[in-house]
Amino acid sequence: MAKVIIFGLSDTAELAYYYLKSDSLHEIVAFTVNKSFIKENFFKDLPVVPFEDISKTYPPSKFSLFAPMTGKNMNRDREKVFLEGKSLGYNFISYISSKATVFDNEIGENCFILEDNTIQPFTKIGNNVVLWSGNHIGHHGLIKDHVFFTSHVVMSGNCFIESYSFFGVNSTIRDCSKISKGTFLAM
């Protein structure tokens, strides 16, 4: 269990708050965003602190971050927050729904894996990956860092997904495919 600060104030951050509160042992203690985006000092009855000053109030030795952001800018906005948090010394938690099917998969930091995902054996998932609900992730695959799968994506077995890729609803990836860095696969 970690004491967690969620990056964001949007509906995605609100969803992350709900999932962590109802389906994890983590304790959410605050929200954070860049100072210029703060309009109110509280969100979901928790303090909102400027990301620029976060380590003063919530030191990385005692708190962890979670940045469940969308795939905007081909995942580079989420990558920026992830790298800035790492440079400040923070560890990031990952959330894996109790309603997802996983085995002993290697899963990196700051992953947001929602319900009804099936991640078959021998598949590795990098850092900062979002798997929205209802995806099938085939066996012996590799998903690199900073990737976003929307809902109902099928990734067949033995696939290799490079960083900064984005997969639209219901997209399908044939077995043994290599998806190049920064690929956008539409619905």
The answer on pLDDT for 52 being more than 80 is yes
Cα angle, residue 87 at apex, residues 81 and 89 outer, rounded to 5°: 110
pLDDT, residue 92, reads 98
Q: Is 186 exposed, middle or buried (0-12, 13-18, 19+ CB in 10 A)?
A: exposed
**Residues 141-159: tens digit of each pLDDT:** 999 999 999 999 999 999 9
pLDDT-derived band at 187, boundaries 50, 70, 90:
confident
The stretch 93-100 carries a mean pLDDT of 98
In terms of DSSP bridges, do strands 46-50 and 42-43 run parallel, antiparallel, or are they unpaired?
A: antiparallel
Query: Does the pTM exceed 0.85?
Result: yes
pLDDT-derived band at 23, boundaries 50, 70, 90:
very high
In terms of DSSP bridges, do strands 160-161 and 142-143 run parallel, antiparallel, or are they unpaired?
A: parallel
User: DSSP alpha helices (H): ranges in the chain?
Assistant: 11-23, 54-57, 76-87
pLDDT, residue 11, reads 96
The stretch 58-74 carries a mean pLDDT of 96
Q: Are the C-beta atoms of 82 and 171 separated by less than 8 Å?
A: no
Up-side HSE of residue 112: CA atoms within 13 Å toward CB? 29
The stretch 34-62 carries a mean pLDDT of 97
pLDDT-derived band at 96, boundaries 50, 70, 90:
very high
Start-to-end Cα distance in the chain: 37
Would you state the structure tokens that stand for residue 137, as one six-digit string?
């992730």
pLDDT, residue 160, reads 98
The rounded percent of the chain whose pLDDT value lies above 70 is: 100
The answer on pLDDT for 183 being more than 90 is yes
Kindly report the average pLDDT of the chain as a whole number. 97
Beta-carbon neighbour count of residue 5 at 10 Å? Answer: 25
pLDDT, residue 186, reads 85
